[in-house]
Amino acid sequence: MADTAPVLQGSPRAFTPAPAPEPAPDPAPAAGPDPVTKNDAAPKNDSAARTGPATRTGPETRAGSAPPTGPMARTASEPRTGSETASVPAPAADPASVTRARQLLAVRPVADGHNGLPWTLRLRSGHDLTPGHYYDLDLADATLHTSFPALRAGGVGAQFWSVHVPPGAVGDRAVSATLDQIDFVHTLVRSYPESLRLALTADAIGDARNRGRIASLLGAASGHAIDSSLGTLRGLHGLGVRTMALTHDRNTPWADSALDEPRAGGLTLFGEEVIREMNRLGMLIDLSMSSIDVMRHTLALSKAPVLFSHSAAAALTGRPGDVPDDILERLPVNGGLCMVTFEPARMARGTGPATLADVADHLDHVREVAGASHVGLSGCYDGGPETEPATATDGTYEPLPRPRGLEDASRYPYLIAELLDRGWSETDIAKLTWENTLRVLRGAEFTARAGGPRRAPSMATIARLDGARR
Amino acid sequence: MTEESEVSETNETAGAAGTAGTPGAAGASAAGGTAETDDFLARAHALLADHPVVDGHNDLPWALREQVRYDLDRRDIAADQSDDLHTDLPRLRAGGVGAQFWSVYVRSDLPGGHAVSATLEQIDCVRQLADRYPQDLRLAFTADDMEQARAEGRIASLMGAEGGHSIDDSLATLRALYALGVRYLTLTHNDNVAWADSATDEPRADGLTRFGEEVVREMNRIGMLVDLSHVAPATMRDALRVSEAPVLFSHSSARAVCDHPRNIPDDVLESLAANGGTAMATFVPKFILPEAVAWTLAADENMRAHGLHHLDTTAEGKRVQRAYEAAHPRPMATAATVADHLDHMREVAGVDHIGIGGDFDGTAFTPAGLEDVSGYPNLIAELLRRRWSTADLSKLTWRNAVRTLRAAEDVARDLQSRRGPSNATIEELDGAAPQD
């Protein structure tokens, strides 16, 4: 009975992912790492990277020159033509660095923290995935940042698909909108079995990569999704949600947003219980868009590593929602991860529009303050601004443009090339793109395993702890 | 349908017996404790050991929510809970229950629109019960799971949602409930939903709206049973017309025996044979005993005469109700009352289309002999007394319900090969939702 129940088929407690067909040989370069390449990549330093492509043969040449599929895919050796680059200034990166970046991504692909495609498709097509009806994600579409050719060319190996709560939705509207999008992501994964594979654990992410699929995870973008109910939180976990942002642009009844008037002064007692229950379940706590008080409060409380799924460094931009240095400094102790957003409105400094270099600056800063083990990438492709107006499903919704140089999901190699040019070691790049994300997920799983047997599911209610019903 | 031939014969004999013995006499003998009764009861226990009860509706999760807010330590159902609940594990065992559809019901009038999250909390409660009592309960999502649980000597635990308000007019939310294990959805509770009429509300959609029909089709596609208890006859007929899979009445009795809107008219019962579905007779006295229906109407009238709502549960309301009850004793239903309904339903719908849905912990009053979940053997004994055959009883208790779920699974497999998930919205199909 299948298709709607990836969950709970055989065993009552285990979430069994929908079976994917046996892996077919995959043409894309991002997939199927060659063991030789894998062993080679990590220890290399910059100079090896620069000279590598010219002198080396074998696996690297294969990885670097394998033709990506689809119109969005380009390799460094294929210079862009004039018509293609009309609106896209060519990146300044050294072509050799771009080639090296692609080689690195073939082994440690990007695990990206935030992609708004589900909500964008919902607004534009009402979730209709009938091939050819609205969008065929196997083809690049100029009005979307995300397509499978773009993700392949970008070296993306794992993606947190954002399960968005529409602006203003509370109560059942927020819950059923969340269930609606969870269902959509499951449908998306089933509709493109050659490209996507549902991943509910760190191990499953590795499996997906080894099968040449993009590991697909679900991340809820706002605490409104659980309607102040721990039973509902467990329901979302049962449906595959593995991260939840405590707030988006509005306070929840139990946690303050960075973009709203402070009310709880951090987390309420019920908010603390949400943290403990997420620890117990193994769901990552996403602090992007939470108020600084909530960040501090959570870091003091959480037994598992935390996540910033799409954030900027306050030291560079200083907008509400950005992560201050004193929080970044605490990430090594917590083991957590700050994924730097590409959101232009969050990256831009001064007057000019945001560029790839701005994103690299934030990455530099987070690496400097938190350390290379606590920085990650979050393209936020096909996402809207943090505060968006209620938008009708009239097919006109356009995702906001991305920074110059990072226009769509195929552009990650140019960012990696920029970081190589700035002197990032290949070890640090491997952590940035892939290893940190897996470690954080594993950390949350470990906390859940270690604490689960000692704690029963929490039956606390917001009425009991905070004295107010939702 | 291969079961039909062996059925028709037993039908005739049992039908004759049913008309011969008056319900009153049978009830008296049940209470008498004669040697003959003990014999029937012993046979009932033996029969239930082989063919345990699949009960269509039990509101234990809601009772746990209301009484102790899911504090399962305070209602440890491994021990006797007869002071507070109709249901606990020892009594389920004594009652010969082999599978239970736990209702994940939530009120349709929860303030502020929290029906979906409350439903998820109810589902969470059932999963925790199964986690907590693994020796006695086993979550079941398929007919195979039910058989397996029975083979292991555990009570198969299924979930049924009660009322379309639990899906918030969203087919994706419906699919999410399925993914979390819910295997039937009652289309309405006591109030209409935007897309289906309830039996106990003012008619508005005249059955199902177009979106309501799409809900039924999507339930067919995913393999969730369409439950027609609580819905208006027009909704029953619409759903039977649209549904490609067998339907369920999780807790409804026969309208011809007791004229109450919650019961099933004969023409609908007759159409179950073609549909393949199952109607599970309920035990709620105010639905099944004509005297109790009349008594309830008079009691409600009395409440209104005192200027109170008929469901008023304030101290004043309770006082008025108690005074009325003292002056006018509440009529008692018995196991024989339920047996009267089952006799009629077997006659009209056929023995392959009947079952049991007690509604324990969902009703304040229960029939004599069926006071709690340990009472099923008394009902089976009464039916044995009415000369029901073992074959018929095994269909009533176990086989029909399992067959119905399995058939829904088959239909779902077939439909899934032919169509994808529906993303229709109520706005698209019905225009703006009438009330929300």
How much is the ipTM here? 0.75
Interface test with B, best of A4, A134, A222 (most B CBs within 10 A): A4
Residues in B touching A173 (Cβ below 8 Å):
113, 168
Cβ contact B175–A4 (<8 Å): yes
Q: Which of B210, B269, B268 is nearest to B242 (CA)?
A: B210
pLDDT for the residue numbered B37: 73
Q: How far is B124 from chain A (nearest CA, A)?
A: 6
Nearest residue in A to B410, CA atom = A1
Mean pLDDT confidence for A357-384: 95
Q: What is the pLDDT of residue A92?
A: 65
Decide if A229 and B138 are in contact by the 8 Å CB cutoff: no
Contact (CB, 8 A) for A286 and A303? no
Global pTM reads 0.79
Contact A3 B222 (CB under 8 A): yes
- Name the least confident of A80-84, A276-280, B66-70, B304-308: A80-84
Question: Structural domain boundaries of chain B?
Answer: 4-289+332-430, 291-331
In this structure, what token pair is assigned to residue A177?
């909108």
Four-residue CA torsion sign, B24, B26, B31, B35: positive
At residue A80, the pLDDT reads: 38
* Predicted local distance difference test score (pLDDT) of residue A380: 93
Q: Which helix (H) or strand (E) holds A53?
A: helix A46-55
Say how many C-beta atoms besides its own lie within 10 A of residue B296's C-beta.
19
Q: How many helices (H) and strands (E) does chain A have?
A: 19, 9
Where does the pLDDT of residue A454 fall: very low under 50, low under 70, confident under 90, or very high at 90 and above? confident
Per residue in B252-268, pLDDT tens? 999 999 999 999 999 99
pLDDT higher than 50, residue B22: no
Comparing C-alpha atoms, which of B282, B196, B189, B201 is closest to residue B239?
B196
pLDDT value, residue B342: 98
Residue A100: burial class (beta carbons within 10 Å; 0-12, 13-18, 19+): buried
Closest CA to B157 of B101, B119, B95, B104: B101
- What is the band of A133 on the pLDDT scale with cuts at 50, 70, 90? low
Q: Is A127 on the interface with B (CB under 8 A)?
A: yes
The pair phi, psi for residue B148, each rounded to 5°, is -65, -45
Q: Residue A270: which residues within 8 A CB-CB, separation 6 or more?
A: A228, A253, A254, A460, A461, A462, A465, A466
> Is residue A229 scored above 80 in pLDDT?
yes
B102/chain A closest Cα distance in angstroms: 15
Average pLDDT over residues A418-442: 97
- Given B116, B138, B420, which is nearest A176 (Cβ)? B116
B79 vs B87: CA distance, rounded Å = 10
| Beta bridge mates, B83 | none
> In sequence order, what are the residues at sequence separation of 6 or more whose Cβ sits closer than 8 angstroms to the Cβ of residue A283?
A233, A237, A241, A242, A243, A244, A444
Strands (E) across B285-415 are located at 354-356
Q: When comparing pLDDT for B241 and A29, which is higher?
A: B241
- Residue holding tokens 């699929």? A213
In the predicted structure, residue A62 carries a pLDDT above the cut 60? no
Which positions in chain B touch A395 (Cβ < 8 Å)? none
Residue B139 near chain A (CB below 8 Å): yes
Q: Is the pLDDT of residue B20 over 50?
A: no
Q: Which of residues 162-181 of A touch B (CB under 8 A)?
A: 171-173, 175-176, 179-181
In sequence order, which residues have a C-beta less than 8 Å from that of residue B51 and are 6 or more positions away? B98, B390, B393, B394, B397, B398, B399
- Cβ distance of B420 and A127 shorter than 8 Å: no
- In tens, the pLDDT along A150-160 reads 999 999 999 99
Burial class (CB in 10 A: 0-12, 13-18, 19+), B311: exposed
More confidently predicted of B32 and A142: A142
Quick one: which of B103, B10, B29, B74 has its CA closest to B362? B103
Name, in order, each residue with C-beta under 8 angstroms of A79's C-beta and a sequence gap of 6 or more: none
Radius of gyration, CA atoms only, chain A: 21
Q: Using one digit for the tens of pLDDT, what is the confidence trace for A389-423? A: 444 444 556 667 889 999 999 999 999 999 999 99
Distance CA B136, CA B98 (A): 10
pLDDT at A60: 38
Within B133-232, residue ranges assigned H as helices are 143-151, 171-179, 210-222
Across all residues in chain B, what is the average pLDDT?
A: 90
Q: Among A211-220, A313-322, B426-435, which is the least confidently predicted range? A: B426-435
Q: Which fold has domain B4-289+332-430?
A: TIM Barrel (3.20.20)
Q: What is the DSSP letter of B396?
A: I
List beta partners, residue B99.
Answer: B54, B156
Q: Which residues in A lie closer than 8 A to residue B180 (C-beta atoms)?
A: 7-8, 235, 238-239
pLDDT, position A18: 42
Percent of chain A beyond pLDDT 90? Answer: 61
Which domains, ranges and CATH numbers included, belong to chain A? Answer: 96-466 (3.20.20.140)
pLDDT-derived band at A126, boundaries 50, 70, 90: low
pLDDT of res. B407: 97
Q: Nearest chain B Cα to A128, which residue?
A: B423
3 state DSSP class of A418: helix
pLDDT at residue number A119:
85
Looking at the annotation, which residues of B are catalytic?
A: 57, 59, 162, 189, 230, 251, 359
Closest CA to A52 of A68, A35, A40: A40
Pairwise CA distance, residues B305 & B327, whole Å: 16
Q: Which of A122-126, A238-242, B5-9 ranks highest by mean pLDDT?
A: A238-242
The answer to which of A53-67, A367-381, A406-420, B62-76 has the lowest mean pLDDT is: A53-67
| Residue found under tokens 């009764």 | B37
Q: Which of B94, B107, B101 is nearest to B126 (CA)?
A: B101
Among the listed residues A323, A417, A416, the one whose alpha carbon sits nearest the alpha carbon of residue A370: A323
Q: What is the mean pLDDT of residues B80-103?
A: 97
**Residue A254 CA to chain centroid, in angstroms?**
25
- Residue B21's pLDDT band, with cuts at 50, 70 and 90, is very low
Q: How far is A314 from chain B (nearest CA, A)?
A: 36
Residue with tokens 């990590």: A42
pLDDT of residue A122: 77
Residue A263 or residue A123, greater confidence: A263
Are the Cβ atoms of B124 and A171 closer than 8 angstroms?
no
pLDDT tens digits, residue range B58-70?
A: 999 999 999 999 9
Angle A45-A49-A53 from CA coordinates, rounded to 5°: 150
